[in-house]
């Protein structure tokens, strides 16, 4: 039996979420801090680094390419940067586990190197689409091989340098944008990427923190190759994608009053706040401040009477990772919630539309999956055995559903929760969720 199927969550119905906590560091920022710190000149120090499997996969890949990295130790990492051209040929395939961010961003960074590399991952990662990065990288002169289906393993051959590109993304994707900007570091001239809708801008912000110029003109983000990055200190805020489960949990559970400290509130990531507030959630954003170029705040959330809404399509890219949690909010809301324009959810760690619909059906929730979204009618629901499909965000979403369930919920296939939120069950139990882990 594989490891992913050995851990389950058992959640008793009821309870409320109360207290003051800090969720683990932002995964997206943790990935990028390692990548840019590795190719910077000097020593980069990171605090708040997410010690989850995905970001550790990125860290391990750069160690395999000769970068000296100390830690992580209580979220602190020290990186001895090797400069733009100091990476070394890895002695083996770079195993990125379950991390799509690692594979897509690393493909851009490695496309301009003068050595060969191969990127591999687990079964889930090997099923995820990679042509969306392979095709524009090939236009830049990169030499990348994949399976006939356009999936990993990815074999990257050495090149002397890359060509600049002006690329209009057909679908809004921060991973594709970031991949091409990282490749643009190694291009002869200016590379520009135009996005059809705003996506998370952590790469642009972090390049600026490393003193590398980035130019934005409307929807176009441009970078000129051939520069240098200067090491810096980074303080990684709490991940709003991890906070989302508790934002939803405290919203749906009577008597809840929870404060989440030092959460990243980057404007390109706060779709979950906008959507929950439109549903009637009581969320206060307090003590706004800046941490290494990223806006952070404390979030206080109290129980509220949620109502179903039609989710605005312009909020979809700003909440793409938070929809499993938002589907639970919809299941607890009065009336109907409709999501459209979210076909990207079909190609995440799982088909998040179908796997969530299947799990909601087990609980007795009326859920109608569509090609690009889902319709959910809220109301009372029960419990039962739910399979997460090995998807960390789905596992945590159904765990917090226990706060409103009429019977116990068993969430199966939960080991991958460690990719983004190590210690989730213990922290959730500390603030009032009746959750236990079971291994078999």
- 162 neighbors 185 (Cβ within 8 angstroms): no
pLDDT (0 to 100) of residue 6:
86
pLDDT tens column, 303-351? 999 999 999 999 999 999 999 999 999 999 999 999 999 999 998 999 9
- 16 neighbors 254 (Cβ within 8 angstroms): yes
pLDDT (0 to 100) of residue 292:
74
pLDDT (0 to 100) of residue 440:
80
Q: Flag whether pLDDT at 3 surpasses 70.
A: no
The reply to whether 27-235 shares the fold of 3-25+237-439 is yes
**Fold classified for 27-235:** UDP-n-acetylglucosamine1-carboxyvinyl-transferase; Chain (3.65.10)
Residue 371: exposure state from Cβ atoms within 10 A (0-12, 13-18, ≥19): exposed
Q: How far apart are CA 30 and CA 58, in angstroms?
A: 9
- 265 neighbors 295 (Cβ within 8 angstroms): yes
pLDDT tier, 302 (very low <50, low <70, confident <90, very high otherwise): very high
Q: Which two tokens mark 105? A: 């961003």
Q: Which two tokens mark 437? A: 């882990």
∠ CA(350), CA(351), CA(352), 5° rounding? 90
Q: In what order do the strands lie in the sheet with 166-168?
A: 166-168, 190-194, 220-224, 215-217
Q: Which two tokens mark 161? A: 């340098």
If you ran DSSP here, which 8-state letter would residue 84 be given?
Answer: T
pLDDT tens column, 372-406? 999 999 999 999 999 999 999 999 999 999 999 99
Within 10 angstroms of residue 439's Cβ, the number of other Cβ atoms is 9
pLDDT (0 to 100) of residue 214:
97
- Whether 321 is catalytic is yes
**Domain ranges across the chain:** 3-25+237-439, 27-235
Q: How far apart are CA 100 and CA 358, in angstroms?
A: 24
Please, what sign has the CA dihedral across residues 162, 163, 165, 170? negative
Architecture of domain 3-25+237-439: Alpha-beta prism (3.65)
Q: How far apart are CA 296 and CA 317, in angstroms?
A: 20
| Residue in 339, 292, 345, 357 with CA at minimum distance from that of residue 320 | 345
The Cβ-side half-sphere exposure at 312, using a 13 Å CA radius, reads: 13
Residue 284: exposure state from Cβ atoms within 10 A (0-12, 13-18, ≥19): exposed
DSSP bridge pairs for 230: 41
Active-site residue (options: 54, 64, 321, 387): 321
pLDDT tier, 92 (very low <50, low <70, confident <90, very high otherwise): very high
Residue 360: exposure state from Cβ atoms within 10 A (0-12, 13-18, ≥19): buried
- 35 neighbors 105 (Cβ within 8 angstroms): yes
Backbone φ and ψ of 87, nearest 5°: -65, 150
Rounded average pLDDT over 2-30: 89
Q: Flag whether pLDDT at 4 surpasses 70.
A: no
pLDDT tens column, 99-142? 999 999 999 999 999 999 999 999 999 999 999 999 999 999 99
Q: Flag whether pLDDT at 5 surpasses 50.
A: no
């Amino acid at each position: 039996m594989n490891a992913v199927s050995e851990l389950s969550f058992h959640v008793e119905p009821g309870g409320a979420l109360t207290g003051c906590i800090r969720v683990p560091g932002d995964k997206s920022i943790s990935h990028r801090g390692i990548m840019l710190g590795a190719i910077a000149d000097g020593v980069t120090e990171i605090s708040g680094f997410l010690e989850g499997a995905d970001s550790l996969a990125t860290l391990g890949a750069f160690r395999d390419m000769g970068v000296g990295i100390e830690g992580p130790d209580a979220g602190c990492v020290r990186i001895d940067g090797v400069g733009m051209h100091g990476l070394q040929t890895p002695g083996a395939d770079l195993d990125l586990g379950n991390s799509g961010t690692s594979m897509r961003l690393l493909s851009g960074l490695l496309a301009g190197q003068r050595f060969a590399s191969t990127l591999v991952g687990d079964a889930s990662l090997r099923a995820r689409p990679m042509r969306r990065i392979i095709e524009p990288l090939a236009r830049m002169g990169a030499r990348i091989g994949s399976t006939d289906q356009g999936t990993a393993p990815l074999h990257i051959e050495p090149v002397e340098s890359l060509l600049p590109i002006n690329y209009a993304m057909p679908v809004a994707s921060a991973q594709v944008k970031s991949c091409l900007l990282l490749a643009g570091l190694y291009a002869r001239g200016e590379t520009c990427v135009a996005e059809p809708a705003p996506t998370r801008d952590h790469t642009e912000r972090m390049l600026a923190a490393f003193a590398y110029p980035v130019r934005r003109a409307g929807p176009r983000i441009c970078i000129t190759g051939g520069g240098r990055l200067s090491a810096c200190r980074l303080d990684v805020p709490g991940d709003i994608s991890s906070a989302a489960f508790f934002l939803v949990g405290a919203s749906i559970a009577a008597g809840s009053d929870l404060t989440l400290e030092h959460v990243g509130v980057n404007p390109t990531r706060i779709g979950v706040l906008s959507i929950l507030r439109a549903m009637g959630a009581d969320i206060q954003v307090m003590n706004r401040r800046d941490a290494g170029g990223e806006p952070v705040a404390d979030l206080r959330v109290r129980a509220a009477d949620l109502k179903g809404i039609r989710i605005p399509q312009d909020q979809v890219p700003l909440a793409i990772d938070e929809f499993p949690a938002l589907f639970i909010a919809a299941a607890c809301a009065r009336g109907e919630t409709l999501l459209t324009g979210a076909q990207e959810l079909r190609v995440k760690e799982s088909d998040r539309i179908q796997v969530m619909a299947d799990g909601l059906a087990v609980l007795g929730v009326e859920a109608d999956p569509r090609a690009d979204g889902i319709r959910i009618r809220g109301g009372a629901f029960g419990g039962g055995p739910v399979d997460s499909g090995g998807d960390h965000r789905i596992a945590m979403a159904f765990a917090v559903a226990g706060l409103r369930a009429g019977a116990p919920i068993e969430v199966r296939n939960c080991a991958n929760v460690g990719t983004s939120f190590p210690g989730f069950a213990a922290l959730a139990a500390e603030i009032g969720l009746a959750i236990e882990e079971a291994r078999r």
